Each structure stands twice: as C-alpha cells, then as structure tokens.
Copies of this chain bind each other. A is one copy, B any other.
Amino acid sequence: MIIRPATATDHDAIWTLLHDVFRAGETYAVDPAITKADALDYWVKASAATYVAEADGRIVGTYYIKTNQPGGGAHICNCGYIVSPAARGQGLARQMCEASQERARAMGYRAMQFNFVLSSNAGAVRLWHKLGFTTVGTIPDAFDHPKVGMVDAYVMHKALAG
C-alpha cells in the first residue's frame, strides 16, 4: 500500500469514493446530491494537497489537506479522509491521518483541526482521540443524520510539533 499525491487521472477513482460517502449523507456536511464536478472541487481544487492510497493498482483511500481559515488563521489546516468499503478495518484511516500530519507539518502548518466530527461517527472519534486530537468544541444538534436524527458535532484539534 502506498500513499501518493493525487493526479488528474485519479479523479474518477476519487469520485467513486466520494460518491458513496456523500450520497449516504451520514458523515460529511455535504449536500448528498452534490455533482461530481462540485465534489472534486471540494476535495481537490479547494485543497492545498490531495493524496490517494493505492493497493495493487487500485485506489482504496483518499485525503485532502487545506488551509482551515485564511488570513490570521492560515497556520491551521483541515483534513478529510475516506477509506473504500473494501479496505476498511485495516488501519488505513490511521495511516492516512498520520501521513497527513507529517505532510501538513512539512507544508508549514502548526496545527490540524477537524471542524465537524459527528458524535454518531464513533469509530472516527475514537481514532482521532487515539492519534492525539483533543475535542475543543461540541456543537449541539449540529447534523440531521438520516438514520439517527439530530447528532452533535465535535471540533477536534491537534498541535503539530515542529
């Protein structure tokens, strides 16, 4: 398994990953009806860097790194991660998150922030805590989950050591 920068030839494979997650509408605050073009804008064009995880020539995961706030907030990055259904349970989210922290540090970011981690996404919450992220905020009833109704969202933060 290698993690490498995404190229234009990866866009269809990235869209396949985004499509399933965004259409389900259970983890990202994205319009479930988002178009392919808008989804790729969100994941690739609006990001400072986008990576893919490749195993046996197939794209099994992707993540982005983007500046979370411009101006005086530009030293903090935001990242998003997606693992293909077939590749779940093999530690790929952890690998991608660790790789993204190393990469973000090299890009000059001093901290990483997740703006909207749903309380219903227990696996993600547990993993981010394990990887050293702190919950610095809880937005009540922040997300209308299609299966469980209103759930809170956490703001999570980790300083990136120099």
**Interchain CB contact under 8 A, A111 and B31:** no
User: A116 an interface residue at 8 Å Cβ cutoff?
Assistant: yes
CB-based contact B72/A29 at 8 Å? yes
Give 1 or 0 for each of A66-95: 1 = CB within 8 Å of chain B CB: 000111111110000000000000000000
A97-120 Cβ-contact flags toward B at 8 Å (1 or 0): 000000000000011010110000
Binds B, one of A8-16, A49-57, A123-131, A133-141: A133-141
A30 at the interface (CB under 8 A from B): yes
Binary interface profile of A, 1-35, with partner B (CB < 8 Å = 1, else 0)? 00000000000000000000010011011111000
Enumerate chain A interface residues (CB-CB to B < 8 A). 22, 25-26, 28-32, 69-76, 110-111, 113, 115-116, 136-146, 153, 155, 157, 159
Given contacts A22-B71, A137-B155, 14 further A-B contacts (CB under 8 A): A25-B71, A30-B70, A69-B116, A69-B143, A72-B145, A72-B146, A136-B137, A136-B139, A137-B137, A137-B138, A139-B157, A140-B157, A141-B159, A155-B155
